[in-house]
Chain A
Amino acid sequence: MRITLRAAISISNFRIRLKALGHFPKVRLDSHTNHSLEKTKVKTFKGGYFGKILHVDLTRGESRTEGYDEAFIEQFIGGRGFAVKLIWDNLQKHRRFDPWGEKNLLVVAPGPLTGVYLPSSGKNSFAAISPATGIYGDSSMGGSFGVEIRQAGYDALAIHGQAESLSYLFIDDDHVSIVACPELAGKGNLETEGRIRDAIGDHDVRVASIGPAGENRVRFACVTSEWSRNAGRCGIGALMGSKNLKAIVVRGNRDLPVFDLKRVIEISTQAFAELSRHEMMDFWHRQGLMSVIDYANEIGILPTYNFHDVHFEKAEQINGFTMEANYKIGNTACFGCPMCCGNINLVKQGKYAGTVVEGPEYETAAMLGSNVGIDDFGAILRGNHLCDDLGVDTISMGNLIGAVIEGYEKDLLTIEDLDGKPIGWGDADRVLELIEQTARGEAIGATLALGSRGVLERWPQLQPLVNHVKGLEQSAYDCRGAISMALAYGTSDIGAHHTRAWTVGKELEMGAEWDAEQKVNLVIYHQDLRPLFDMFGVCRLPWIELGFHEDFYAELYSAVVGRDYTLDDLLQKSKEVYNMTRTIGVKLGTGRADDYPPERAFAVPIHSGPLAGKVCDRGEYEKMLDLYYQKRGWDEQGIPPLAEQLNL
């Protein structure tokens, strides 16, 4: 059966729409087709899983649901685990392929705990072969989008093919349709979301969309939902753009399967009470992740002037207290989260007056602030707003702009390279202009849009200034003071991102008492544990920030699926998944040579702050890397035994 493409979206004023939606919304959707293609038998489980994965083929305009068996769950848990397996199978089917467009499978996967009554259960993962790095990549998104996918009755979405023209995918419980939307071309995320809600006639549908950056295949384009919940890293938005997929729209009404709801309520009620009593909670509500700016600045890991310094002299102008005093107008939270770490900010006066944005959190404030020398918090908010609306990852953007500024300062780039307009540290207007140009692929932005690798191809002289691992730009924690963090960046399966392991705090705390083996152990433990949160589909912040015990999640998972698991069982499964992503990376061309932190970590000693003089030692790093491979059970080139099973 073929799904007919529907054209034209009705446009109406936002306010009128809200009024009209007061009671029964007028829904006019023509030519919807149900999908009922060759459904494989769906097995039902005790709890936690619907047993269904929705496969959509954009090229042929078809969709079908596929079931899976017990062994699939046993091995991969869910969420990111399912995504890795689907991508692995797709690789085996197509072997080597161009990460752009048709053959690259995009998986959107909430986990078995997403949407369940427990603290912070609003996460889901977007995974694919990353157009930025050419290897496996994923990024997770908060908000309510993942919950809605689960409520529609699916454990994951697998999106194949490439649409003929710009379209969005609408999943309405059992009804799946692909709707052409040429009028949304070039529109920002906010307008896209509003217009789609308009067209469907329901204010409560959940939309994950891409902005112009995704359509223009900016290598670090993100997927955005609910104003500013982003799956930012690894260029998943660019992949959606290449598939001509402007947005994924979901509406679901089902109950989530929970085996022992009584037990879940029991555990969670206690957890909520514990969280509300937590001594840090009040401060966390006030500042959220913005409090990290002061922490990072104090201990010496705040990226400043393109990761050259680790201490920003004007940090107090961009920290949480400044935000609280002059900008903050409200809190936001993802689904079911008592931590409310989102800050809504408004610029009340000055050049950027009138900018309202949900954000920034630490990474954005650091990368669009200290890393490019900006000390005006209003400008950071403006930059954050632009990035959200245009669909650009703030971490990568801040990295590349930082490299350009430093390159120009060190005469590695000429004024012609910069289109005749100079740029310097803290030049907010120029930074904002670059963000816009990057998203639209104009002028110098066309080069920045190619990501680290593309920038280095065009300007090889910037080699020592562009901070990336495997093509993914470094996130906002300097690693020179903590070699375990360098190892975490180097060995991360997606590139220089802290999502897999964040060990810098612990290492600086332990100091000289900590030997190489302990460091390697912690990196591996984190790399096994932290992806587990993505597999469950929950946020790891209650664990990181408020000290929630890991065992809590094993207990909850057991209650939800109706089987007993210990944390060690689950970590073992997570380890296997890590081996798989590593194998994919190895088979697609990365190896030991790519397992090093950005060059700056070895070359430029920190020159100020409490860690002055510190730099990573290459010899020590080599030894740690050997030890890391050995403990992982990989050979000295970092190739896992599993590599024999994937033939490309």
Chain B
Amino acid sequence: MRKKLAVVPERCSGCRLCEITCAVHRQNANNPKKGCIRVTTVYPHPVVRMPVVCSQCGDPKCAAACPTNAIYRKDGIVHINKEDCVACHACVDACPFGAIYVHSELEAPLKCDLCNGDPQCVKVCPTEAIVFLPEHVFGQAHRLNNVLSYAHMKEIEYMEKGERKRLRYADNAPSGDLNK
């Protein structure tokens, strides 16, 4: 079972704990700008706070753009081979999400490799804005929403012993045809 990072921007507070946690654990440096994840904040219209991190794409554009084939995919994780990397930053430009980062003190670009299957940012995120999910769980929330929307909820009001009451029920009959 493969797992991936998922981001829930609605929950993100913009505290940047993920950035600094990544940096201290992975780069051994107290420098939020050396993290492989960064929070991008936009305000006041619209208000968005979103951690941007590698999606471990199945067909990584960064790998396709790499002139030295330093980027490869193994067991569902996209890695950068630092020895082959020439630091041309073509991958940074190629990533459609902007999820590869550059720091002037480091040769190779910074890219998430899921901390050997135990991402530190997930552990520290105070609002659960970053979650680590099995791949098959992705989309489940949307699926559930969609399924629930099939249940046409209706509400009726009725009187019982002089008291007004309400009853909610699911009207699942497709446009009432079955009743005929």
Contacts and interface: CB of A to CB of B under 8 A. Distances in A.
Interface of A: 18, 22-24, 115-117, 144, 147, 151, 190, 203, 226-227, 253-258, 261, 264-265, 272, 275-276, 281, 285, 329-340, 342, 344, 356-358
Interface in B14-58: 14-17, 20-21, 24-25, 28-34, 40-45, 47, 49
A18 B28 contact: no
Contacts of B113: none
B33 to A, nearest CB: 6
Interface of B: 10-11, 13-17, 20-21, 24-25, 28-34, 40-45, 47, 49, 92-93, 98, 103-105, 124, 126-127
Given A261-B24, A335-B16, A336-B15, A115 B104 contact: no
Nearest to A18: B42
Contacts of B34: 255
B43 A331 contact: no
Contacts of A335: 15-16, 32
Top-8 shortest CB links A-B = A338-B126, A333-B15, A333-B13, A340-B13, A255-B31, A331-B13, A256-B30, A255-B29
B49 to A, nearest CB: 7
18 contacts: A23-B92, A24-B93, A115-B32, A117-B24, A144-B16, A226-B43, A227-B43, A255-B105, A256-B30, A281-B126, A330-B13, A335-B15, A335-B16, A335-B32, A337-B126, A340-B126, A356-B45, A358-B43
Contacts of A23: 92-93, 98
A115 B30 contact: yes
A265 B103 CA distance: 22
Contacts of B33: 151, 253
A337 to B, nearest CB: 5
Contact of A151 (B13, B31, B43, B49): B31
Given A190-B44, A336-B20, A340-B127, A256 B31 contact: yes
B43 A253 contact: no
A330 B47 contact: yes
A117 B15 contact: no
A357 B43 CA distance: 10
Given A23-B93, A333-B13, A261 B28 contact: yes
A117 B20 contact: yes
Given A356-B44, A356-B47, A358-B43, A333 B14 contact: yes
Contacts of B14: 332-333
B21 A117 contact: yes
B30 A117 contact: yes
A265 B25 contact: yes
Q: Which of B11, B21, B28, B31 gathers the greatest number of chain A CB atoms within 10 Å?
A: B31
Given A151-B32, A333-B126, A336-B15, 6 more contacts: A115-B20, A117-B20, A264-B24, A272-B124, A275-B126, A329-B47
